[in-house]
Amino acid sequence: MLDDFLVRAALASVGTALAASVLGCFVVWRRLAYFGDATAHASILGVALALAFNLSVTLGVGAVALVVALTIHRLDDRRQSSDAILGVLAHGALALGLVAVALLSGARIDLESYLFGDVLFVSARDVGVIWAGAGAVLAVLWWHWSPLLIATLNPDLASASGVDPRREKLVLTLLLAAVVAVAIKVVGALLITALLVIPAAGARHLARSPEGMALIAAGIGIASAGLGIGGSLALDTPTGPTIVCAAVALFALATLVPRVVLR
Amino acid sequence: MTLLSGADLAVRLNGNDILRDVSLSIAAGEIVTLVGPNGSGKSTLLRTLIGALTPSRGRVTRARDLRIGYVPQKLAIDATLPLTVRRFLDLPRPAAKAEAQAAMTRCGVAHLAKRQMADLSGGQFQRAMLARAILNRPQVLILDEPTQGLDQPGAAQFYQLIEQVRQDLGCGVLMVSHELHVVMSASDRVICLNGHICCEGTPEVVSAAPAYRELFGTGTGGALALYRHDHDHHHHHHHEAAQ
């Protein structure tokens, strides 16, 4: 079954979309979109390092994403993380990564596939790595759901209930790095944040509870993955951007339709 | 019995000394109110006592397995987070149905159980927070300016509710308040804070203390500080009030 490139692409996209859209709810609730951007953009540097040292790309991306995410996490603790600093990090890391790719690997890689993803070319092994990563992210989210939620609501409220808000924030930081590592082959560094934010934002208007929002976001994420792959085959367009376009279309539908119906 | 105490606390935040030499304790059944000007470290002290901040010196001591109910100063729920009042009560642990119902009824928010937190009025929101805080039958209830943003009748009702909860649960209450007239009538003890403890004691003692009157008596023409004690005995502060 995994011999079919379409099946592999579908599995990889669905696994990524599932983890990203559920984690994305926290990204939206805590307004971490820019944080996600900075981490994702920096992952290009991870690609460069992985290629230079002959490591797995997922490993390189995961490691760099982790370092960047932890750096931002620490800056945030000292209340120094303004929009401006995140902006510097996000774009600085991307530029540094692009330069590093050129310097370290010459012209022998197809940069575009790491910027925008290339899910039609994932291997069976890639699919395994993606599902292992996505499964781990979902498992941690399941396990930490309540503490994460109360820490998101108010850190002091969490402290008073015996939940360490700094630990929960660290958990989110690690999960974000994991999702970036998982998603880079599917949607690429530039569009990972889209996969985090758009399904969750679309789910907001349909949900009445945090869990409901996560489930609906997951549904939108999976549907986007399916529609995106189908669309990219039919229209002969790049798959990653087409998945994101499908997510945007579903977002628009989910935002506008309830308003029209409820009116 | 002392439930929660801080001994010789000092707190530094971002290189600034916020608190120094603060010692206090809360016993079961008493209402202790913290007063002090803006920036005097009231919230910092509460946050230290609940464990959100680590003191740079001194230590916080809690009774074994102490249950704390906490109502923070401000809870800005992001508009993107859907959360009903009932679901809010389930954080961080699911509440038993009957207990949640009882807590909501006691705080007058039972009819709002299915409402979104973001849609509540200021008073309803504070009541929902109190309902959540009393769910685990706390031994100490800590409230940080719980009536901020409420009108006077709303604030008065809220303080009555706290008094009721104190009677029913027998818990100690520690709260920050700016409403000095309420403080003076509703507290067993008042602690006047300005980086350190300026004075403390019963409302009568504190309101007569020079340190307290220095903080609250000037600038307001004495009107705030004199509310309670201008009629209790023959201070010579009438001319001060007129200054």
Q: Give just the sign of the alpha carbon dihedral A151, A184, A37, A199.
A: negative
- pLDDT at residue B88 above 50? yes
Phi, psi of A39 (to 5 degrees): -65, -45
Residues B97 and B182 in one domain: no
Asked if A159 and B72 come within 8 Å (Cβ–Cβ), the reply is no
Residue count (chain A): 263
Residues B101 and B22 in one domain: no
pLDDT confidence of residue B217? 66
Residues B226 and B111 in one domain: no
Residues B193 and B214 in one domain: yes
Residues B154 and B200 in one domain: yes
Per residue of chain A (263 residues), give pLDDT as tens: 667 889 999 999 999 999 999 999 999 999 888 888 888 988 888 888 888 888 888 888 989 888 888 888 787 665 555 677 778 888 888 898 888 888 876 656 778 888 888 898 899 999 999 999 999 999 999 999 999 999 999 999 999 998 999 999 999 999 999 999 999 989 999 899 999 999 999 999 899 999 999 999 999 999 999 999 999 999 999 999 999 999 999 999 998 887 776 65
Instruction: Look up the ipTM and state it.
Output: 0.84
Task: List, in order, residues 6 or more apart from A4 with CB less than 8 Å away.
Answer: none
* Three-state DSSP class for residue B27: strand
- Among B120, B136, B152, the domain boundary falls at B136
Q: Give DSSP secondary structure letters for A189-240.
A: TTTHHHHHHHHHHHHHTT-SSHHHHHHHHHHHHHHHHHHHHHHHHHHT--HH
Which DSSP category does A121 fall into? G
Rounded to the nearest angstrom, the gap between the alpha carbon of residue A23 and the centroid of all alpha carbons in its chain is 8
Name every chain B residue with its beta carbon within 8 A of the beta carbon of A153: 75, 77, 81, 83, 91
Residues B116 and B204 in one domain: no
Residues B112 and B152 in one domain: no
Residue B92 contacts A, CB cutoff 8 Å:
yes
Residues B197 and B94 in one domain: no
For an interface test with B, the pick among A77, A150, A153 (most B C-beta atoms closer than 10 Å) comes out as A153
- The CA distance from B140 to B120, in Å, is 26
Token pair 């004690």 in the structure block, residue: B229
Name every chain B residue with its beta carbon within 8 A of the beta carbon of A150: 91-92
Residues B147 and B130 in one domain: no
pLDDT confidence of residue A78? 57
Q: Over the stretch B23-66, which tens digit does the pLDDT of each residue have?
A: 999 999 999 999 988 889 999 999 999 999 999 999 999 998 89
- The CA distance from A78 to B149, in Å, is 30
- The CA distance from A171 to A146, in Å, is 13
Q: Which amino acid is at B234?
A: H
CB B181 within 8 A of CB B227: yes
In chain A the domains, ranked by start, together with CATH numbers, are: 5-193 (1.10.3470.10)
- The CA distance from B175 to B43, in Å, is 10
For an interface test with A, the pick among B42, B65, B81 (most A C-beta atoms closer than 10 Å) comes out as B81
CB A192 within 8 A of CB A175: no
Residue A158 contacts B, CB cutoff 8 Å:
yes
Please report, for chain B, how many H helices and E strands are present, in that order: 10, 9
Name every chain B residue with its beta carbon within 8 A of the beta carbon of A200: 80
Residues B117 and B132 in one domain: yes
pLDDT confidence of residue A108? 65
Q: For residue B47, give the chain A residue with the closest CA.
A: A156
Q: Over the stretch B151-185, which tens digit does the pLDDT of each residue have?
A: 888 888 888 899 999 999 999 999 998 777 777 77
Q: Where are the alpha helices (DSSP H) in chain A?
A: 5-29, 33-52, 57-77, 83-105, 111-116, 124-153, 155-160, 165-183, 192-204, 210-235, 239-262
Residues B177 and B89 in one domain: no
Asked if A210 and B116 come within 8 Å (Cβ–Cβ), the reply is no
- Among B136, B160, B189, the domain boundary falls at B136
Token pair 């805590």 in the structure block, residue: A30
Task: List, in order, residues 6 or more apart from A8 with CB less than 8 Å away.
Answer: A2, A122, A123, A124, A126, A127
CA distances from residue B49 to A168, B42, B43, B193, B207 in whole angstroms, order as listed = 20, 11, 10, 15, 25
Give the dihedral of Cα atoms A61, A63, A69, A71; nearest 10 deg.
Answer: -130
- The CA distance from A173 to A197, in Å, is 15
For an interface test with B, the pick among A156, A169, A171, A209 (most B C-beta atoms closer than 10 Å) comes out as A156
Radius of gyration of chain A (CA): 18
Beta bridge partners of B60: B6
Identify the domain containing residue B216 by its residue range: 2-67+139-242
Name every chain A residue with its beta carbon within 8 A of the beta carbon of B92: 146-147, 149-150, 158, 161-163
Name every chain A residue with its beta carbon within 8 A of the beta carbon of B95: none
For position B144, which CATH number holds?
A: 3.40.50.300
Provide the number of structural domains found in chain B: 2
* Three-state DSSP class for residue A33: helix
Neighbours of A158 (CB within 10 A): 27
Q: Nearest to residue B197, comparing CAs of B1, B35, B53?
A: B35
Q: Which amino acid is at A150?
A: I
Residue A33 tokens, joined: 């979109």
Residues B233 and B168 in one domain: yes
Instruction: State the pLDDT confidence band at B238, using cuts at 50, 70 and 90.
Output: very low
Q: For residue B75, give the chain A residue with the closest CA.
A: A154
Burial of B91 (0-12, 13-18, 19+ CB in 10 A): buried
Residue B63 contacts A, CB cutoff 8 Å:
no
Q: Over the stretch B178-235, which tens digit does the pLDDT of each residue have?
A: 777 777 778 899 999 999 998 888 888 887 888 887 777 654 544 444 444 333 444 4
